[in-house]
Structure 1
């Protein structure tokens, strides 16, 4: 799944929020941060800045450093252990919303293609996105995901979109419970 520009901007905004939260940590806690020395020193410098403009520029630079990291997940885990996991929950919710929207978009496109070809579009249609989601979240039924996306594409009833999101969230929670906790 390729990310839209809007989704890319949302993810950068999430990293910017992460940078803000990390910069608010005390210097002693930043020494324990699972990150490179450059990132730690930039965060310490941001904590000491009082001028809003300079601080914002430095936060933007820190966000760029975070984008270059392999995965910011250890930083989210570290922050969750220190301050609670509200930021991590928010990030995961946005990821699930992206998956739901990608699945719905695929169903709508498949429905339009079937209409152009004068073919039947049924709830048993095959979804590549549903298969990718099932691979990422074991225990998820791709046929159920496809079925709910089909119902939304046909009716545009938001109830099906909400049900799809609930199904994805439940699968994510089950996956988190079955996964070993990361330090």
Structure 2
């Protein structure tokens, strides 16, 4: 075998190695993409959806005159409930909180309760946020993420609009504007 043949043989080996290497990378990437898609589809099935009964829970209320535990089922039959999952580190959550606060007195009179469930780790950051935005509607703390898991919450914010019978009328993933917030609240005003 001469030098030219050896050089050609080495080039073929390198090409074969690169082909195998690139194929392996593509297989791994395809597998990761497939896993992500399947996981996302399955996690969507876990979320509580429109037409279902809202899962009951009890959490500590951090603000208000009577700071105590609030149970969702205690609000059933009294009117509609807007249930908002949020966190202080969530920028869209920060933007929609003033809208919720501005509409709260008006819709409280109409029989709609706004309840916000924070998934932050500590009460200190939640209390600071509540004081900064002067929030008067009930702020609950889901420190163990049990309620978040029960509802299958993925993106923050996620908001549920629940009628007076405890049935979910709407589920909104992402930020609410003032206009669409008001439209959703109108849907759960008791008749």
Pick the TM interval, shorter chain.
Answer: under 0.3
**TM-score, length-scaled by structure 2:** 0.25
More helix by share: 1
Whichever structure has more strand as a proportion of its residues is: 2
Which structure has the larger Rg? 2
User: Comparing both chains, which one has the higher relative contact order based on Cα–Cα distances under 8 Å and sequence gaps of 6 or more?
Assistant: 2
- Output the TM-score relative to the length of structure 1: 0.26
